[in-house]
Amino acid sequence: MTTLQFDIVAGDSAVRVGILQLPHGEVETPVFMPVGTAATVKAMLPENVAETGARIVLGNTYHLMLRPGAERISRLGGLRKFMNWPHNILTDSGGFQVMSLAGLRKLSEEGVRFRSHIDGSEHFLTPERSMEIQHLLGSNIQMVLDECAPFPASFDGIEKSLALSMRWAKRSKWAFRDAPGRHCFGIVQGGVYPDLRRKSAEELVAIGFDGYAVGGLAVGEGQAAMFDVIEATVPHLPGARPRYLMGVGKPDDIIGAALRGIDMFDCVLPTRSGRNGQAFTWKGPLNLRNAQHADDAAPIDRGCTCNCCRSYSRAYLHHVVRSGEIIASILLTWHNLTFFQDLLRAFRNAVRNQTVSQFSAEFLTNYRSSREEDPV
């Protein structure tokens, strides 16, 4: 396998700043990856996503395999060309989405048979097919197929699920097509059980991957339990490899996880919140639907350099949100993605300056002081 170059440039194995050397530009970590589910970051042009500072986005294997199809995207030049994104792409394996289909799927040792939520057509996703789809998409980082177990679940149930995920991880690694600029990450599972998380991490390290994700979290276990799982998992992962917390999340979740050694994050929250009238700020989230913003001539954040904050007031945003105008989704998503990038840029600078403990404590105190209703 072509080794992913990951240089730790500040901090240590617990809290660190690194650089992922990827073919379409360096990516500084800790990094937040905007989610481009269907070959688009919702409500954003690719150049606007790049303007926020993002240099890697996430593509969704499940949605793209159903529409427009991985083979079609490949014929059209791959996902980067198809969506006009000049930078790097990570693709998930489709496992989480398929497992969320409940009565529309049937799991077996070979893979998972499911019906499309779009038209009811039947599909069969195996570790080998997932890796083939991701190869056709042309992603730079491909994820193994795993079973995303429900929460809560018994120790025995998670142990059985974990064993299947580890067998699938081996098959995914065997099916991965090694090529320059292509890399493969394993996914640690094990629910909220430290012993199972350790077992999963050790088995994946023995298989050997370019990076290691922590999966199966942000599914209802709560922040404290999530942090406990991270603390139980990270010591069993190679310090020289990037660590990716999948599907997380809220700004205070991200800072807490970064303090515990996580390097990569993704979540739909900033884009979904933007479409629902919520803006993230250093003092907590704002609900622009609230009447208190109707006469406020100030921007969301005076220190923010995004186009939304440079040009529009809270009063205007309140108006277009309440009116259901498309521009509300565009502007608030633009701001939210900028905020997430700015937050991690500030975190990286604090690590470099050896002030990360003070920075994080001040941010978490200010952020959690918000009393606005969360509309999402």
What are the catalytic residues? 92, 266
Alpha-carbon gap, residue 148 to 188, rounded angstroms: 10
Q: Cα separation of 280 and 13, whole Å?
A: 29
Sequence-ordered strand ranges (E) for 80-190: 88-91, 105-107, 112-115, 122-125, 141-143, 183-188
Rounded (to 5) percent helix, strand, coil in the chain? 45, 20, 40
Give the Cα separation of 306 and 56 in Å (integer): 19
Tell me how long the chain is. 376
* CA dist 302 → 156, 291, 311 (Å): 52, 20, 11
Tell me 90's DSSP state. Answer: E
20 three-class SS = strand
Answer whether 171's CB lies under 8 Å from 208's CB: no
Q: Where are the beta strands (DSSP E) in the chain?
A: 5-11, 16-22, 25-29, 31-33, 35-36, 56-59, 88-91, 105-107, 112-115, 122-125, 141-143, 183-188, 211-214, 243-245, 264-266, 278-279, 286-287
State the DSSP H helix or E strand holding residue 272, giving kind and residue range, or none if neither: helix 269-275
